[in-house]
Structure 1
């Protein structure tokens, strides 16, 4: 998979990323721009992955999950010290019993992006084109 990113205007921080044929706006938060910024997409990847993982697992187990909402809150106050905090709240809608709810909570922490962020060493190579 390849993602391309282009600057929209020579003097602006507004960018467009193209992933799987879909355009995504990139910017800086106010006052420099209007957002969303790259951190927002990083955080969104985690929340989206947890939601999809929970939904797919609930379908496979035939749990009565109707919908899921995910809220991701960021604490970047210690990012320069090497700590980037994300707090995730799942809201599960449907006639689920306590055991099913706990099972879905547990599976959410096993989503691929959660694992990537917490259990994998990521290697990044940057070169000139």
Structure 2
């Protein structure tokens, strides 16, 4: 079993240490806003989880990915518990990428690999979309 610890450090601030030993400061008070809050961390975890999948899958497909940005947006329930009820994920990819390969990588993450998304789908509708931006001309290698 994996174990995480959360220690109160004053006000509504906490230091969370995960099984890896890395620590993250969190702040539940949105007015002081000194660190991400717990539900904000869930959005960040969703983005990082699916990003990991997509990068790995595209590398295996030998796609020339230059950059990836994932923007996760969401709405929460009005009454407690204020769980995520609607999530939208936008993938912005840059590189020499095949549209079908990108779509397949995202679908695999959505349907099979992203554990965070699998948990969030229990309370939220999750929609996905992507934009493929052209490769940076300075990175394209050509021959004269």
Could you say whether these structures have the same fold, taking a TM-score greater than 0.5 normalized by the shorter chain as the test? yes
1:93 CA displacement = 1.3
- Residue matched to 2:130: none
TM-score (ref. length: structure 1): 0.78
Unpaired runs of 5+ in structure 1? Answer: 120-129
1:108 CA displacement = 3.0
Q: Is the 8 A contact 1:26 1:37 kept in 2?
A: yes
- Residue matched to 1:5: 6
1:97 CA displacement = 2.0
Q: Which has the higher contact order (CA 8 A, sep 6+)?
A: 2
Q: How well do the aligned residues superpose, as a CA RMSD in angstroms? A: 2.3
Deviations 1:4-32 (A, max 9, x none): 000013xx111000011111011124325
- Residue matched to 1:109: 110
Q: Is the 8 A contact 1:28 1:34 kept in 2?
A: no
Deviations 1:107-127 (A, max 9, x none): 2313222123226xxxxxxxx
Unpaired runs of 5+ in structure 2? Answer: 123-144
TM-score (ref. length: structure 2): 0.71
| Alignment coverage as a number of residue pairs | 118
- Residue matched to 2:135: none
